[in-house]
């Protein structure tokens, strides 16, 4: 591993994946159905781990990172390199640009006429359009897009094996929870930038300076720091946040958990 701080998140991702496999292999369809919401609850904490891994890979060896991608993807609903394209090379580059800008944010919170979306409209729009946006960004970044397409093969292979042997259990333990986890992830990102028509990194994001929130999300509450240096490991964000805190508008630093 590149950073010791990733030990806990990696162990958590592996443990939840093993739990899913156990339910998939041993439980009845009824138990699988009753497990959907608990698995979503576990999955929402894997989503930020996936986010951080896509910014700064957890392992030094490339093959371990790609194997880790295959543990993360079916639990979060985001295919390997999908986040790299849509989020890293899309949203982070364009998040200050809202429609009708000619190069709008891939996670934009305004309608085409520039009016603000509600949280639900934003979530549904992004859910329905993110694959199209991945392709658009991928065409501008062919190397990463090629990796995205190549990693589809083992991912779809694993899903295909699951559907072949236990189709209902695969849908209930992996596919449905991953879809709901993805929707929650999108919904949770709405507050990061919505309503902040900014032209500068320092006043373009809301932050949550709450210990418990940042423990559970891997310091995503320090969102201005993350956008200022998106290649910085998540464990180092609190230090950067403290250095730039006086440049962030006070009303954009929230103290509550949610």
Q: Is residue 32 within 8 Å of 169, Cβ to Cβ? A: yes
Share of the chain above pLDDT 90, in %: 97
Phi, psi of 76 (to 5 degrees): -115, -20
Q: What pLDDT does 1 receive?
A: 92
- In a domain? residue 205: no
Question: Does position 39 have pLDDT exceeding 90, yes or no?
Answer: yes
Q: What pTM, to 2 d.p., does this model score?
A: 0.95
Residue 253 is inside which H or E element, if any?
A: strand 253-254
- Tokens describing residue 177: 């929870």
pLDDT single digits (tens) 48-83: 999 999 999 999 999 999 999 999 999 999 999 999
Cα–chain-centroid distance for residue 52? 8
- In a domain? residue 34: yes
Q: Which of 183, 236, 184, 245 is nearest to 209 (CA)?
A: 245
CA atoms within 13 A on the CB side of 155: 24
CA atoms within 13 A on the CB side of 203: 10
What are the residues whose beta carbons fall under 8 Å from the beta carbon of 131, sequence distance 6 or more? none
Q: Is residue 204 within 8 Å of 96, Cβ to Cβ? A: yes
Q: Is residue 12 within 8 Å of 46, Cβ to Cβ? A: yes
- In a domain? residue 26: yes
CA atoms within 13 A on the CB side of 80: 23
Question: Average pLDDT in the 102-108 region?
Answer: 95
- Structural domain total, the chain: 1
Question: Average pLDDT in the 141-148 region?
Answer: 98
- In a domain? residue 76: yes
SS3 208: strand
- In a domain? residue 247: no
SS3 254: strand
- In a domain? residue 234: no
- In a domain? residue 119: yes
Domain coverage including residue 91? 4-197
- In a domain? residue 71: yes
pLDDT single digits (tens) 165-218: 999 999 999 999 999 999 999 999 999 999 998 888 999 999 999 999 999 999
């Amino acid at each position: 591993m590149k950073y010791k701080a990733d030990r806990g998140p990696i162990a958590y991702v592996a443990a939840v994946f093993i739990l899913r496999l156990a339910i998939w292999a041993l439980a009845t369809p009824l138990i699988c159905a009753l497990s959907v919401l608990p698995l979503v609850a576990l999955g929402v904490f894997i989503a930020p781990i996936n986010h951080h891994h896509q910014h700064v890979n957890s392992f030094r060896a490339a093959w371990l990172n790609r194997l880790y991608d295959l543990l993360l993807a079916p639990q979060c609903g985001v295919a390997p390199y999908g986040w790299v394209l849509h989020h890293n090379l899309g949203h982070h580059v364009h998040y200050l640009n809202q429609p009708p800008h000619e190069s709008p944010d891939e996670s934009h919170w305004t309608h085409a006429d520039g009016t603000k979306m509600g949280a639900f409209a934003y979530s549904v729009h992004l859910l329905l359009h993110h694959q199209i946006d991945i392709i658009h960004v991928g065409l501008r970044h062919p190397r990463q897009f090629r990796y995205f397409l190549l990693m589809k093969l083992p991912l779809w292979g694993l899903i295909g094996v699951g559907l072949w042997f236990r189709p209902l259990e695969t849908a209930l333990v992996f596919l449905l929870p991953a879809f709901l986890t993805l929707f929650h992830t999108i919904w949770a990102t709405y507050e990061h930038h919505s309503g902040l028509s900014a032209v500068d990194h320092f006043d373009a994001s809301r932050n949550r300076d709450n210990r418990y929130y940042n423990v559970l999300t891997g310091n995503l509450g320090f969102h201005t720091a993350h956008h200022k240096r998106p290649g910085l490991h998540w464990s180092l964000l609190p230090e950067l946040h403290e250095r730039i805190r006086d440049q962030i508008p006070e009303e954009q630093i929230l103290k509550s958990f949610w």
